[in-house]
Amino acid sequence: MIIAIDGPSGAGKSTLGRMIARELSLLYIDTGAMYRAAALAVIGSGVSTVDQQAVAEVVTRADINLEGDPDSLQVMLDGRDVSQDIRTEEVSHSASVISTIPEVRRTLVQRQRKLGERAGGVVLDGRDIGTIVFPQADVKFFLTAAPEERAHRRYDEDRLKERNATLEETLADINKRDRRDSTRGDSPLAIAEDAIVIDSTEFSIEEVFEQMLKAIRERK
Ligand code: DC
């Protein structure tokens, strides 16, 4: 059983991915966290994100792993737990930039396929899961919400973590990342033909969760 969840940032993919994985006892793979760990490796190496070949080499060498269950997923980079370090603005930006490099994508997609194939069943969230990584996925979701709503959610989360970007800055950042993620040449964010599209602007997480579970049960 492979469940693909794609969509723009702040649409609730990882929260819902975890909930679905827990409910159905599946492995959960946050592919965005893998791009973030790769970005952290690049930042740590000191190479410029403009130097595509050097970036690709750093990412190929980086040992990126996801460990633990959906609720306490640990993102490991070269044996170190980087789960917190990958959630900064700098890493968000660099992850979006390096994920446009085809060689970086090839390396990470290969790892994602291996992880997914090894597991009995898996929920993956990202931007290209239903289109590129697992086009044969059993159920595909495309989660979205109005940019203003996604910015609000991100802003509320950031405030809890005592980060102090304004709502306007958060919205500008979301719009910039959306544009980069959906206009890059290699596997841009796109809706798979057979994806179930859910716009969560007007729904709570619990309501979306119920819609997704219903769709999965119908497909099974
Ligand atoms: O989901 P996220 O915000 O943690 O992802 C960080 C960046 O990684 C995002 O800007 C785009 C990129 N990404 C990608 O290109 N493909 C994926 N499958 C997942 C993330």
Residues 38-55: what's their mean pLDDT?
97
Q: Is the CB of 32 under 6 A from ligand 1?
A: yes
What ligand 1 atom has the least distance to the C-alpha of 13?
Answer: 1
Residues 58-84: what's their mean pLDDT?
93
Under the banding of pLDDT at 50, 70 and 90, the label for residue 59 is: very high
CATH number of the domain residue 168 falls in? 3.40.50.300
Report the C-alpha gap between 162 and 153 in whole angstroms: 14
The residue nearest atom 14 of ligand 1, judged by CA position, is: 127
Q: Which residues of 27-38 are buried (b: 16+ CB within 10 A; e: fewer)?
A: bbbbbbbbbbbb
Q: Do 74 and 160 share a structural domain?
A: no
The answer, yes or no, to whether residue 217 has pLDDT greater than 80, is yes
Predicted confidence (pLDDT) per residue in 148-200, tens digit:
999 999 898 877 777 778 999 999 999 999 999 999 999 999 999 999 999 99
Percent of the chain with pLDDT over 90: 85
The answer, yes or no, to whether residue 71 has pLDDT greater than 90, is no
φ, ψ (nearest 5 deg) of residue 80: -110, 140
**What rounded mean pLDDT belongs to the chain?**
94
Domain boundary among 119, 148, 168: 119
Which residues lie across from 143 on neighbouring strands?
A: 198
The residue nearest atom 4 of ligand 1, judged by CA position, is: 32
Q: Report yes or no on whether pTM surpasses 0.85.
A: yes
Q: Could you tell me the residue range of the domain that residue 81 belongs to? A: 29-119
Domain boundary among 64, 90, 119: 119
Number of domain units in the chain: 2
